[in-house]
Structure 1
Amino acid sequence: MEIKGTQIQATMFNAAAKKFYDRFEMGKVYYISRGSLKLANKQFKTVQNDYEMTLNENSEVEEAGDEEIFTPEIKFNFVPIDELGTYVNQKELIDVIGVVQSVSPTMSIRRRNANEMIPKRDITLADDSKKTFVVSLWNDLAAGKGQELLDMADNHPVIAIKS
C-alpha cells in the first residue's frame, strides 16, 4: 500500500478535550486509537478530507517514538491575496502565502470577557498580485514566532499560513 499523505481533523469535547489538551504538540506524530471516524461536517471542517475523527475520554493517544515513521508533507491550496475578498465572512478556511513586508511590535489588547491583557502582533504580507493584507498573531504566536519574524523582517522572508 502506498501512503500519499493527507490531513484529517480530530474533534474532542468535554472530558476528551480536557484529557488531550496538553498532549498534542505541533510537528509531532501520534498513534491514535479508540476514536471514531465519520463523514466530516462541511460547516466546521478545517482540512480537505471527507472524514473526521472524534476522540472521547476512552480514546488513546501515544506519541510515536524515534523509529522511522511516515510524516506526510503539508498540502496547501493557496488563495491569491487579490482573491481574498470572496472569502470575507465565509466559513471556509484558506491557505495563503506571501512575502513579509513589515512586522509590528507586540501590542497588548484587553479581552472584553475576561478583562485580561493578551499580546498581539500584526504581519503585513504581499504576493505577486501586488496586493497586501495583514495577519494578526495572538498570544504565544505573537511573542514567539512573531518575534522571529520581526528579527528577520529586513530579509523579507516568505511565509505560508495554513487554514
Structure 2
Amino acid sequence: MCRNKRIKRTMDSSPNAEDQSMKRSARWLERASNYQVECNGKMTAERQRKGEYSFIKDLKLYQESFSIKVLILKVSLEQFSSSKGSGQVQKIIVIDEEGTKIQATLFNATIATFEEYIHLNNTIIIKNGKVRPINRKYASVNPIFGLAFGQNTKITVSENEINIGTLLFSFKRFEEVTKTNNENIFFDVLGFITSVRPLYF
C-alpha cells in the first residue's frame, strides 16, 4: 500500500538564496510527481487485478455501464428555473483512490431516491449512469466529463472506506496553468513565496 512520503527540504541563507530556493522547488516538485506516478501505478494495478471497479480516468464519454468507488467531498442542493421547468438540482463532487475527481448531478426525484447514500465523507459504489461532456460555462473539477444519475443508477455504501489522507495531489506547473483555455478548471499547484510586498489601495 502506498503512503504519503515526506520529502526533506532545507533553507538557504546565501546571497543567491532565492534562485537556489526556486531550483530546489522545481526538483522537489519533480520528485513528488514521480512518487505520485509510482504510487498510483501500484494502486491501479492492484485494483485492476481484482476487477472490482473502474477508475474515473477510465470512463468514456456517453458511457452508461460502469462501476466506480468514490469518496464524497462536497454536496450542494440548489433550486433551478428555466424554460423547460423548475425544480431541485443536487451536485456532488467525488474522488477515487487515484485522486481523480468528478462532479455528479442529480435532479428532482433522483435526489430523493439516493438521499440515504449521498452524505459528506461517505465512500460509495456508483454503478451505471451517464457520462456526459461538461458545460464549460460552469466550474468543474474534471476538464472532460461529468456524471448524471438516472433510472439505471445504483448506489451502495462501501464497507472499505477511501482514506483521503492517503490521496496524492496532481500538481501542475504555473506555466502549464497559464496556458489553459478553460478558466473554470480546478487544479493543484505548489510553490515557494519568494517575496512579500504591501498592497496600497
Which TM-score tier does this pair reach, normalised by the shorter chain?
0.3 to 0.5
Q: Which has the higher helix share?
A: 2
Q: Which has the higher strand share?
A: 1
What TM-score do the two structures reach when normalised by structure 1?
0.40
Of structures 1 and 2, the larger Rg is shown by: 2
What TM-score do the two structures reach when normalised by structure 2?
0.34
